[in-house]
Amino acid sequence: MAGRLELYLIRHGETAWSLSGQHTGRTDLALTAQGEAQARELAPALRGLGFSQVFTSPAWRARETCALAGLGDMAVVEPDLAEWDYGAYEGRRTVDIVVEHPGWNVFHDGCPGGESVAAVAARADRVIGLSAAWTGRVALFSSGQFGACLAARWIGLPVLAAQHLLFGPAHVGVLAANPAHPDMRVLSAWNWACVLATPEPPSGA
């Protein structure tokens, strides 16, 4: 494992708004009781992986998940891991937004008064740039839609491709390189559940 980089991208546990399908960008929600249980159940899966570094979004839901998963003592807040800023669509559901704006897709259109697709891509690329100085296993605690964007950018795809990457609460993705082709980035795991999460609509959170 020495010298080989693996990014363990971990979405926070359930919140009231992730359960209802409301877009949660800058609103600083805590985890639900179910979300806390999901975060605790991450600990056995993550224990023993020997993370060299741990980074977390500044959002309380991500920091709380990190702490309950047993990695809080190592965590450093990285602002670029924050969820999409949904602007005028904060707290709203996609099913309601598309009634007013048919065809709206956050990964294509961004959010009025919030972040554009280009801005989110730039943040994801900055995180990837930082990773050039990391080695070993690194944990990244973030949110649903930004996490999907980061994964898409990791493998060289546009943000729009993130619409195909559902990322459930307290689920894990592993961003790595193909061992036979070290310069080829891959998703070596995606949307892996450490615990059976409560079913919910796909949404940002």
For residue 25, count CB atoms less than 10 angstroms from its CB and return exposed for 0-12, middle for 13-18, buried for 19 or more. buried
Q: In what helix (H) or strand (E) does residue 177 lie, and over which residues does it extend? A: strand 171-178
The number of residues in the chain equals 205
Given the residues 6, 12, 41, 78, select the one marked as catalytic: 12
Amino acid at 60: W
Dmax over Cα atoms in the chain, in whole Å? 52
Indicate if 83 belongs to the active site: yes
- The answer to whether residue 200 is catalytic is no
Q: Of the listed 83, 90, 115, 171, which one is catalytic?
A: 83
Burial 93-126 (b: 16+ CB within 10 A, else e): bbeebeeeeeebebbeebbeebbbbeebbebbee
The structure tokens listed for 147 are: 């996490």
- For the annotated catalytic residues, the residue numbers are 12, 83
